[in-house]
Structure 1
Amino acid sequence: MLPAQEQFAQFSVDGQRLYGLLHIPNSDDSSQRPAQGWPSVVLVHGFTGNQGGDHRLLPVLARHLAARDVACLHFDCRGSGISQGDFSEMTVTREVQDTAAAFEYMRRQPGLDPERVMLLGFSMGGMVVSLAAAEVRPHRLALWAPALPELWLPMLRGGFVPPVVSDYGGWPVGREFLQEVTRLRPLEAANAWATSMGGGVARVFHGDADQTCPPEFGVRYAQALGCDAVGIPGGTHTFENFSSTEMLYTETLRFLTGG
């Protein structure tokens, strides 16, 4: 087996360029290549995150997937990482649009199966892909430590939306993001996708030591999706130890490769 191909990826949403990295399986035996093309996964990062993920969670997962004959794209949403746009313009709806564009980008790639494109979202990315799922209809849906809108309630001081951009540790959080986020219904959207698919194939992965998005969030998503929730022992929000990261990869790879 030859090493996977890795190539720069770029696509546009509303005139702004989004940048990422595309990993494509490579085989020295053409008989090993599916006639319909390789399956693939689009990875969506979290709030204030980027395509690298915490301690390189996303590119490492992408390389594991490509080694198992699953193509993968990780990218920066507008205003994050190296993509164009300003973070002050970021909203969940904009990231849903970015995700839909990334999904369509994968469907157009030569050698990939347009019917077997999957989604994986981490933290706020889990909320984003849940909201995007009904539109793009992923082959499978995976959520890592998914967020819910109430995570941002503490930013609404006294229950009011700040009139200007808020300073969130140096990140300019726009008023529009805060106005929108508490109105979102990701659990209803997740359930609608699962119902429309006749029982969508989904799985939730959540660390039992997550103090950012409590494990209850993962359970609520699993209930909405009608799927299993995999608890990762000792896993923090970003899976900050070797054992939890190893289990996260093992269980995620098993799910995304059909196990």
Structure 2
Amino acid sequence: MNPDFTFFEINGKKQQIIRGSLHLFNQGRSPWVIFCHGLTGQRMGPGYLYVKISRALAEAGISSARFDFRGSGESDGTFFEMNLSTMNADLIRVLQFINNQYQPSATILLGHSFGGLVVSSVVAQTSPEGLILLSPVGDVDALIEKRKALMAAGTNSSGFYELGPHEMTLSFVEKINGIDPVDTIFTNFHGELLLFQGDNDSQISVQESARYLRKAEQSGIKSDYHLLHGADHNFSRVSDVKILCTSMSNWIKERFR
């Protein structure tokens, strides 16, 4: 098996370019995994996590697309323009591109952290066959609470709030206020779910992401769960990466090949 690799550029809204990477299984149609990074993230993932997963998937005969949301990574736009609505639009645009160019045999959306919230928001419009969630945001109120200290600090001389090295506006909070990603997914999703969570995650608790599992059971959605002992929010250890790569590849081959 000799998977191919290439880059892509497509027009997003405001004629801003969305840039991404493709790992292609070159022996006919295949399942596709579309990666959605978290807030302040980019398409390679922390510690090149997404690259490692994409390579493992390609070796297993599974294609994938990784892209930078506008305002992140190498895509056009600035961080302060980015919010849930712009991220939703970017994901839908990438899905249109993949569907038109490659006709996936199945589409699986992968969301890490805030990317899980993005995935939940487009399920009704995109009807994926599968979802893979890595430490997904499951409690928007808790996320907003974490940002209150940032807002309390006030704006800088340019009129923006500062999130580490990034500038942002209140639009980010306004766009997620009142949303429940767990209810949103399972009101509209009828495929299969794979969820990974570390029990040493300082950003998303085991209890928060477990809401997805409880709701999946209530909704009759088949789900698989991996709780990685000692793993942090970004699955930073070699052993974590190996578990993610192997488990995802096997799950997709069993369910969608």
- Structure 2 length-normalised TM: 0.88
Alignment partner, residue 204 of structure 2: 213
Q: Counterparts of 2:33 and 2:176 in 1: how far apart (Å)?
A: 26
Alignment partner, residue 7 of structure 2: 8
Verify the 8 A CA contact 1:235 1:241 in the aligned structure 2: yes
Structure 1 segment 89-104 matched on structure 2, within 5 A: 89-104=81-96
Alignment partner, residue 137 of structure 1: 127
Worse-superposed segment, 41-50 or 179-188: 179-188
Q: Counterparts of 1:228 and 1:48 in 2: how far apart (Å)?
A: 28
From 214, 218, 223, give the equivalent of 2:214: 223
Aligned length: 244
Partner of 1:55, secondary structure, is: helix
Structure 1 segment 106-125 matched on structure 2, within 5 A: 106-110=98-102, 112-113=103-104, 115-125=105-115
From 235, 241, 246, give the equivalent of 1:245: 241
Q: Counterparts of 2:88 and 2:137 in 1: how far apart (Å)?
A: 14
Partner of 1:258, secondary structure, is: helix
Identity %: 26
Alignment partner, residue 201 of structure 1: 192
Structure 2: gaps spanning 5 or more residues: 218-222
Structure 1 segment 174-185 matched on structure 2, within 5 A: 174-185=169-180
Verify the 8 A CA contact 1:106 1:117 in the aligned structure 2: no
Aligned-residue offset at 1:193: 2.0
Cα separation, partners in 2 of 1:180 and 1:45, compared to 1, 3 Å: same
Verify the 8 A CA contact 1:25 1:70 in the aligned structure 2: yes
Verify the 8 A CA contact 2:79 2:167 in the aligned structure 1: yes
Alpha-carbon displacement from aligned partner over 1:192-214 (angstroms, at most 9, x marks no partner): 123xx2xx211211111111111
Q: Counterparts of 2:11 and 2:173 in 1: how far apart (Å)?
A: 25
The answer to whether residue 53 in structure 2 is matched with residue 58 in structure 1 is no
Q: Which has the higher contact order (CA 8 A, sep 6+)?
A: 2
Q: Counterparts of 1:169 and 1:8 in 2: how far apart (Å)?
A: 29
Structure 1 segment 14-53 matched on structure 2, within 5 A: 14=13, 15-27=15-27, 33=28, 37-53=29-45
Q: Counterparts of 1:161 and 1:100 in 2: how far apart (Å)?
A: 34
Aligned-residue offset at 1:258: 2.5
Verify the 8 A CA contact 1:190 1:224 in the aligned structure 2: no
Aligned amino acid, residue 94 of structure 2: A
Partner of 1:134, secondary structure, is: helix
Verify the 8 A CA contact 1:119 1:142 in the aligned structure 2: yes
Worse-superposed segment, 129-138 or 244-253: 244-253
Worse-superposed segment, 212-221 or 224-233: 224-233
Structure 1: gaps spanning 5 or more residues: 28-32
Q: Counterparts of 2:90 and 2:97 in 1: how far apart (Å)?
A: 10
CA RMSD of aligned residues (A): 2.0
Cα separation, partners in 2 of 1:86 and 1:159, compared to 1, 3 Å: closer
Q: Counterparts of 1:87 and 1:94 in 2: how far apart (Å)?
A: 11
Verify the 8 A CA contact 2:52 2:245 in the aligned structure 1: no
The answer to whether residue 79 in structure 2 is matched with residue 87 in structure 1 is yes
Aligned-residue offset at 1:157: 4.1
Aligned-residue offset at 1:159: 8.6
Aligned amino acid, residue 119 of structure 1: L
Q: Counterparts of 2:224 and 2:101 in 1: how far apart (Å)?
A: 31
Alpha-carbon displacement from aligned partner over 1:155-174 (angstroms, at most 9, x marks no partner): 22499796742111111122
Q: Counterparts of 1:158 and 1:62 in 2: how far apart (Å)?
A: 34
Q: Counterparts of 1:145 and 1:220 in 2: how far apart (Å)?
A: 11
